[in-house]
Amino acid sequence: MDTDIHQLGLDAARQVLGADAVKQVEVIDGADYWYRPAYHFTYLIDLARSQLQPGLVRTRLIQKLLDDLDARGDDHLPVIQLLDAADWEKRARA
């Protein structure tokens, strides 16, 4: 995976949630449910450190990623998954 996309995902999440709330991110290049190009971002976050509710986090993070990808001329769509520490260890890896 392109390290620039990884950093873009990390920076976007830190801007939306705050640096202390974002622990890790994994990014996989693939497709969405309609076979459009997509980046699948999986975040390890601590929602207790964020002032936002999970639904608002998702909405703002997706919008931030869309804006940042568009600014790069990248037509991939962001697909995100937010996990806490317990779920991070159980996640499926492609």
| Band of residue 70 on the pLDDT scale cut at 50, 70, 90 | very high
pTM of the model: 0.90
92, pLDDT greater than 50: yes
What is the H or E stretch that residue 78 is in?
strand 77-83
Nearest to 44 by CA among 58, 28, 30, 24: 24
Q: How many domains does the chain have?
A: 1
Query: What is the spatial distance between Cα 31 and Cα 77, in angstroms, rounded to a whole number?
Result: 8
Residue 94 in any domain: the answer is no
Query: What is the spatial distance between Cα 17 and Cα 74, in angstroms, rounded to a whole number?
Result: 23
Residue 45 in any domain: the answer is yes
Which residues form the domain of 65? 3-87
- CATH of residue 31's domain is 3.30.300.30
| Band of residue 94 on the pLDDT scale cut at 50, 70, 90 | very low
What is the H or E stretch that residue 40 is in?
strand 37-45
Tens-place pLDDT, residues 10-46: 999 999 999 999 999 999 999 999 999 999 999 999 8
